[in-house]
Homo-oligomer: A and B are copies of this chain.
Amino acid sequence: SGPPGFVALDCDTVLDYCAAKPEVAAALGGAEGRGAWSAKEVGDGNINFVYIVSNGAGGAIIVKQGLPFVRVVGESWPLTQERVRYEAEALMIAHGYCPQHVPEVHLYDAPMSVIVMRYLEPPHIILRGGIIAGTVYPKLAAHVGEYLATTLFGSSALAIGCEALRKARQAFGQNEDMCALTEQVIFTEPYAKADNNHWTSPQLDDAAAALRTDSELKSAICSLKRRFACDGAALLHGDLHTGSIMCTESTTFVIDHEFAFYGPLGFDIGAFLANLFLAYFAQDGYEGDRSSQREWLLACVKETWATFERRFVQLWDERGVSAGNAGLTPAALYDAGAGAEGDAAAALRAHQAAYMREVLTDSFGYAGAKMTRRVVGIAHVADLESIKDQDARARCERRALACGRRFMLEAKELSIEDAVAMAEELRA
């Protein structure tokens, strides 16, 4: 199956493929070295195949191929390969905004549904694994804050104006399949009876049942779903959990943009924060003293938001007050040099504060939704799943659920410090 020109690769044919594509062969030092090349399939995700192709001389690239179905389920759950186009474009756009935290794309091959990109060499590992292993990443918050600020600001109407936003959004398209998947597994199933749902049972049976009768939470999730589907404010990653980040102690890269779509900024921010909180709540299920990592995780929540906010406003000050009528904060209103009257600088600061407050509110809402679905929905997180003792795991998960619920219901009132304090109290 698959479109014309599509062939599913394997560890042998991927080498032929690389040799046949000049830009790929070049990245491996030239096709003439082909005899020394080798490939390994390392896809640990649920959906796609990922090959590391090494040239035997220390060089390597990543070849990622999307098949016309969900990998872990098989042909019975089809998925159009259009998602690979979205992923490739979003990767390239994000790399443009934030080259230091997004791998470079060497090739996007539409008929083959292949993306060839920079190999993030060891010691880069998937952040989630590093956190579970107890590692602390001192640069993570600053890097992810930078990634979020540059990509979300850069693709928003604040940077490019409303006209260009409309054009870019129309050209990018709607990533139908992946948005539909999100609507199913994040915004619907956790609050309903669904075959996909599972949880630590019987320990959390009551908590899962409570979600299905929680009218306040249902209203909150439906409001979040509405904005997910309607509020095309910026080009999002769309699935920014700690399994979509690769890092070392000094470097951080965001990968796997296949859920990219134009949506509300808080969806990406909330996804990342949710995964930090999930890791935080999981800690009590692990052996040994994790107190310093626990503190780091909460510091990371605060620093991510602080970095995001500071950088976003900085970019706004530098480039957000656009000259035209398409600007979201047009110079005519906010730039004294362009004739804006009154204390234009103070006016801009006041609007920026109001804007950031809305983004933070959305971030809490989406964070809560993500935490909830990771405990009772189709796809859980290894942070919690790796806790062997079911009672211990359920205790952690119950706290995560309680925290997620409060984030969703109290989003409008919470500061980032409140949110951290709430998590600490729920653990105490």
Q: Which residues of chain A have a CB within 8 Å of any CB of chain B?
A: 157, 162-163, 165-167, 169-170, 173-174, 176, 179-180, 183-184, 187-189, 191-194, 209, 212-216, 218-219, 221-223, 225-233, 325-330, 332-334, 339-343, 346-347, 350-351, 354-355, 358
Contact B347 A188 (CB under 8 A): no
List of B residues within 8 angstroms of A326 by Cβ: 180, 183
Instruction: Give CA–CA (A173, B174) in the complex, Å.
Output: 12
List of B residues within 8 angstroms of A222 by Cβ: 328-329, 333, 351
Contact of A328 among B163, B212, B229, B329 (CB under 8 A): B229
Instruction: Give CA–CA (A176, B169) in the complex, Å.
Output: 12
Contact B162 A179 (CB under 8 A): yes
What copy number does this chain have within its complex?
Answer: 2
List of B residues within 8 angstroms of A347 by Cβ: 215, 218-219
List of B residues within 8 angstroms of A191 by Cβ: 332-333
Contact B170 A332 (CB under 8 A): no
Please judge, given known A-B contacts A179-B166, A226-B328, A341-B209, whether A188 and B232 are in contact too, CB under 8 Å. Answer: no
Instruction: Give CA–CA (A99, B194) in the complex, Å.
Output: 39
Contact A219 B180 (CB under 8 A): no
Instruction: Give CA–CA (A347, B215) in the complex, Å.
Output: 5
Contact B176 A166 (CB under 8 A): yes
List of B residues within 8 angstroms of A215 by Cβ: 342-343, 346-347, 350-351
Instruction: Give CA–CA (A232, B162) in the complex, Å.
Output: 13
List of B residues within 8 angstroms of A226 by Cβ: 157, 233, 328, 355
